[in-house]
Amino acid sequence: MIPVLASDAVIGAMLLMCRVGGCFMLMPGLSNASIPVNIRLYAAIAVTLTMYPLLFDTVAPAFRGQSFSFLLLLVISEVLSGIWIGFLGRLMFLALETLAVLIAMALNLSNPSGVSFDQMEALPPVGAIISLSAAMLVFAADLHWEILRAVKASYANMPPGLLFQSRLSLVGIADQLSSSFLVALRISSPIIIYSVIINFAIGLMNKFTPQIQVYFISIPFVIAGGIILFYFLVQEMLGEFIRQFSRWLIYG
């Protein structure tokens, strides 16, 4: 049996911390590498203590009267559950960053490397702007509160006593991956369509007038047109992404 000194209160808080901390490891915005580790740790502890009175009665039956080995298995299961929740949210931002690189390539702005706010990986400047703006909008739209609500709601769908279901989790990841890239593709489609049309037109012009280097002459106009189009569309693009991210947080 679990030693008497390890009280139910401490074990319950530890299990809550495992899921909350696992989610904070990967959830967009909360897991940013530029945020000091101590701040992220204190934030996870604060959220755990806040949720403790609400969720203790849900968590307690999972470990009461269980052996130490089962408790260890329960800790691993809760960490994996938190990581799974955070990873589902991360997939949407990874899809957005991937399509942001495609947008930069469509605008012929993919050569200079920038910085990704959320991943600290080299991205084209356009991709860095989109990534930073999306991460800022998560907090500006108060979606970080929805993230915490989603973590709390996860205890109704994934009670600690059932342990981590790997097969169902893989199905959820596959579905989220598909829907995330579909959303990102829909958001970036105007820029992609512009690139296809303008390059097709330039190809025709180059075919009809082979004496003139149309491609090299047209590059500045293609870039200027793409930047103007991006200027008018970026607000709607980011707004649609945040709406889809909010819908996933609320409805799952």
**pLDDT tens digits for 194-213?**
989 988 888 888 888 777 77
In a domain, 117, yes or no: yes
pLDDT digits (tens, 9 = 90+) for 96-115: 888 888 888 888 877 656 66
pLDDT of residue 170: 86
Domain range for 164: 8-251
In a domain, 1, yes or no: no
Distance, in Å, from the CA atom of 117 to the CA atom of 93, rounded to the nearest integer, reads: 11
In a domain, 2, yes or no: no
Q: What's the structural domain count of the chain?
A: 1
End-to-end CA distance of the chain: 37
In a domain, 210, yes or no: yes
In a domain, 88, yes or no: yes
- Other CB atoms within a 10 A radius of the CB of residue 219 amount to 12
pTM above 0.85, yes or no: no
Q: Is residue 65 predicted with pLDDT exceeding 80?
A: no
Average pLDDT over residues 121-125: 74
In a domain, 239, yes or no: yes
In a domain, 93, yes or no: yes
Distance, in Å, from the CA atom of 25 to the CA atom of 99, rounded to the nearest integer, reads: 23
pLDDT digits (tens, 9 = 90+) for 18-27: 999 888 888 8
pLDDT of residue 109: 79
Among residues 85, 72, 65, the alpha carbon closest in space to that of 21 is found at 85
In a domain, 3, yes or no: no
Amino acid, single-letter form, for residue 197: I
